[in-house]
Amino acid sequence: MISLSNINVTFESGSQPVPAVRDVNLQVDAGDVYGIVGYSGAGKSTLVRVINLLQRPTSGSVEVNGQDLLSLNSKELRAARKKIGMIFQHFNLMSSRTIFDNVDYPLKSSKLSKRERARKVNDLLELVGLSDKREAYPSQLSGGQKQRVAIARALANDPEILLCDEATSALDPKTTLSILKLLKKLNQDLGLTIVIITHEMQVVKEICNKVAVMEAGRIIEQGDIVSIFSNPQNALTRDFINTATHVEQTLEKLALHPSLVHLKDNDILCKISYIGDSTSEPVISALTARYRVTTNLLFANVEILQQTPIGNLIVVMSGAASDLEAALQYLQAVNLTVEMIDSRLLQNSKAGDPV
Ligand SMILES: Nc1ncnc2c1ncn2[C@@H]1O[C@H](COP(=O)(O)OP(=O)(O)OP(=O)(O)O)[C@@H](O)[C@H]1O
């Protein structure tokens, strides 16, 4: 549906060229909710603006719905852009027009009659839950309501793709969740393909099926979110994931409060991870029953991503050395990933690093 190949964007700013996007390849399929994450300045906005040619790439090709956008004349490009809606962090509504007029605005050049347009605007306002705000002005709405208006406006020309540039960054967590739920509903009910750029992995976790991580203009890792969350390859990706799963913060807290962990000589402090239904066995009780190993659970976190549970436990296992050895082998045999954590190194370690 969207195919970006070898995209480079270099800005000529002052004496130094600024390479904002470097050799990016991105494939978004119809029906995807594709997250692009990265810290400020990574090149996310520039990349997303390439998809509708708000930003022309310095080199590379941009194909949307089988059309090579760079080869279109301005009239053809205008038509192609109608199929690509966009929403922004600061909503970009027209403050002097009513909510109805804001949503109606993109329909002005359509062939619809005035009555058809009114019906369409009313349907869109109903879709985003704002039928009662038709006559209000943007200044009378909350941030979440403004973003709903922006979504309704972006949908006016029945786009197949919606680009979201930090669409929830100005919203509180509860409102963010309600906007993400609305986007998910549009994805499922209208088959809308969504590209969402964010610096919050929480947003990706909530609605995306795929994610690309950007750093210094490049995509350093991409894939489906279950693989990325369960087996991140890159340190930056791990950082982002840790912000959403809290495993690392827990390790830091344990390190700051060593009294929480009274390890005896043989004790093993470790992180146990699993994906999906790795095991149907009651593992923790099996450790005690079969191997005489007791387990002190310090932390547990289960994320459900794309209907797939991903679990992380931090435990202290206690027992005789040979029993612990056998217990560890058992855990691996039932497809759990066990990473040892040396409590003395906690302060210098990151979750996921072999220590
Ligand atoms: N019009 C421009 N002229 C010159 N440099 C630019 C321009 N737009 C962006 N840049 C630079 O390109 C780089 C990437 O910027 P971009 O806005 O795409 O990053 P981002 O990941 O979206 O960041 P943020 O999350 O802060 O919006 C930055 O170094 C930025 O300063």
ipTM: 0.95
Measured in angstroms, how far is the CA atom of residue 176 from the centroid of ligand 1? Answer: 24
**Separation in Å, CA 71 to CA 61, 82, 86:** 10, 17, 22
Measured in angstroms, how far is the CA atom of residue 293 from the centroid of ligand 1? Answer: 54
pLDDT the model gives residue 59? 97
pLDDT the model gives residue 343? 63
pLDDT the model gives residue 344? 58
Distance of alpha carbon 128 from alpha carbon 99, whole angstroms? 12
Residue 333 CB burial class (10 angstroms; 0-12, 13-18, ≥19):
exposed
Index of the ligand 1 atom closest to the CA of residue 21: 14
Residue owning the nearest CA to atom 26 of ligand 1: 40
State the DSSP string of 293-308: -EEEEEEEEEEEETTE
- Please indicate whether residue 159, judged by its CB atom, sits closer than 6 Å to ligand 1: no
Helix (H) or strand (E) holding 281: none
Per-residue confidence of the chain (355 residues) as pLDDT tens digits? 999 999 999 998 788 899 999 999 999 999 999 999 999 999 999 999 999 999 999 999 999 999 999 999 999 999 999 999 999 999 999 999 999 999 999 998 888 999 999 999 999 999 999 999 999 999 999 999 999 999 999 999 999 999 999 999 889 999 999 999 999 999 999 999 999 999 888 899 889 999 999 999 999 999 999 899 888 898 899 888 877 777 777 777 776 665 555 677 788 888 888 887 765 667 888 889 999 999 888 888 888 888 888 888 888 899 999 999 999 999 988 888 898 887 655 544 443 444 3
Q: Which of 45, 48, 200, 218 to mutate to test the pocket of ligand 1 (most atoms within 8 A of CB)?
A: 45
Distance of alpha carbon 68 from alpha carbon 61, whole angstroms? 7
Index of the ligand 1 atom closest to the CA of residue 49: 18
| One-letter identity of residue 162 | L
| One-letter identity of residue 2 | I
Distance of alpha carbon 47 from alpha carbon 50, whole angstroms? 5
Q: Which of 18, 24, 49 to mutate to test the pocket of ligand 1 (most atoms within 8 A of CB)?
A: 18
- Asked whether the beta carbons of 201 and 243 are under 8 A apart, the reply is yes
Residue owning the nearest CA to atom 8 of ligand 1: 46
pLDDT the model gives residue 257? 60
Residue owning the nearest CA to atom 3 of ligand 1: 11
> Whole-model pTM above 0.80?
yes
φ, ψ dihedrals at 7, nearest 5°: -80, 130
Index of the ligand 1 atom closest to the CA of residue 9: 12
Measured in angstroms, how far is the CA atom of residue 87 from the centroid of ligand 1? Answer: 17
- Please indicate whether residue 236, judged by its CB atom, sits closer than 6 Å to ligand 1: no
pLDDT the model gives residue 123? 96
